[in-house]
Amino acid sequence: MEIIIAPTYQEMSKISAHFIAREIKKKHDIVLGLATGDTPIGTYQELVKVHKEEGLDFSKITTFNLDEYVGLPPLHKNSYNYFMQDNLFRHVNVNQANVYVPQGNTEDPEEFSAWYEQQIKNAGGIDFQILGIGRDGHIGFNEPGSSFASRTRVKALYKQTIEDNARFFDRIEDVPRFAITMGVGTILEAKKILLIANGEKKADVVAQFIEGPVTSQITATALQLHTLATVVLDEAAASKLKRKEYYNWVRDNKHLVQKMVGR
């Protein structure tokens, strides 16, 4: 796992947008896995900027979002579909026919989940997956105890997740109790993974998932099993890491490291 610590949220966002833009330039028809939440908003804003100012072309890409609340129709203001349209899709030249977000109000979530997995396969798999992290260590909505082999399915949300996400709803009772989410197994099949996290409230879980033991109780620890996973943090989120100096040395001497490992 490569750990990059940026001084601020803005810098974290710029670095991650730069990674994504680089991948899009390398492969115009890239398949991106996308995340929601407050964390990637700055990254999406930077990507929109690169599109507007430098003409970064989204027209051939395909996107798959990680998750969606069960019961919310795509146009609901709290749906992740709405979030993506609002924060990224409507600002860039993405082809809406190639945009996939799980359908929260599907009549048959099980059948839908199998269909979603099939669409990912049909697209050739996810090339580059962007992730945030919940305070309980979840990626997507893979709550504690989710199998590392899990595929897209319905998950019941953990109490802490419901409380954390209540800020987007009028009342905590309005937060859906279930979500459709890609599984940990689905995520691990992405060719490259980028996880971003910021703020002091993520510091404990960031230290646990990077430096702690691999466990399904913190599903982000699954990234330790991936060969091309990068984590970009701001200083606050990185504040409880024990090996911060080591990560910073590697970041600052990347040319030497690349020479040694041939990447």
Judge contact between 170 and 147, C-beta under 8 A.
no
Decide: 69 and 179 in contact? Cβ < 8 Å. yes
Query: Residue 75: CB partners within 8 Å, gap ≥ 6?
Result: 81, 82
The catalytic position among 67, 127, 234, 235 is: 67
Q: Identify residues 144-183 at the interface with ligand GLP (CB under 6 A).
A: 161, 165
Kindly state the smallest distance separating residue 93's Cβ from ligand GLP, in Å.
25
Q: Is 38 in the site for ligand GLP (CB under 6 A)?
A: yes
**Residue ranges in 51-70 that form contacts with ligand GLP under rule CB under 6 A:** 66-67
Burial 63-72 (b: 16+ CB within 10 A, else e): bbbbbbbbeb
**Residue placing its CB nearer to ligand GLP in the complex, 36 or 87:** 36
Report which secondary-structure segment, H or E, holds 259: helix 254-261
Q: In the set 33, 37, 109, 137, which binds ligand GLP (CB under 6 A)?
A: 37
Residues 79-108 that bind ligand GLP (CB under 6 A): none
Strand order in the sheet with 153-156: 67-69, 178-181, 153-156
> By CB under 6 A, is residue 134 in contact with ligand GLP?
yes
Is beta strand 153-156 parallel, antiparallel or unpaired with respect to 178-181? antiparallel
Can 136 be counted among the known catalytic residues? yes
Closest CA to 233 of 126, 84, 133, 83: 133
Told to judge if 28 belongs to the known catalytic residues of this protein, a careful annotator would answer no
The tokens for 176 are: 């859906």
Q: Which two tokens stand for residue 19?
A: 């990674």
* Catalytic status, residue 107: no
Closest to ligand GLP by CB, 30 or 179: 179
> Would you count residue 232 as binding ligand GLP (CB under 6 A)?
no
Q: Is 234 annotated in the active site?
A: no
Total residues interacting with ligand GLP, rule: CB under 6 A: 14
Q: Which one from 46, 117, 127, 138 is the annotated catalytic residue?
A: 138
Residue whose C-alpha is closest to residue 229's, from 195, 262, 205: 195
| 56 C-beta neighbours (distance < 10 Å), count | 18
Smallest distance from the beta carbon of 42 to ligand GLP, in angstroms? 10
Binding ligand GLP (rule: CB under 6 A), the pick from 13, 16, 39, 150 is 39
Enumerate binding residues for ligand GLP (CB under 6 A): 35-39, 66-67, 132-134, 140-141, 161, 165
Q: List active site positions.
A: 67, 136, 138, 143
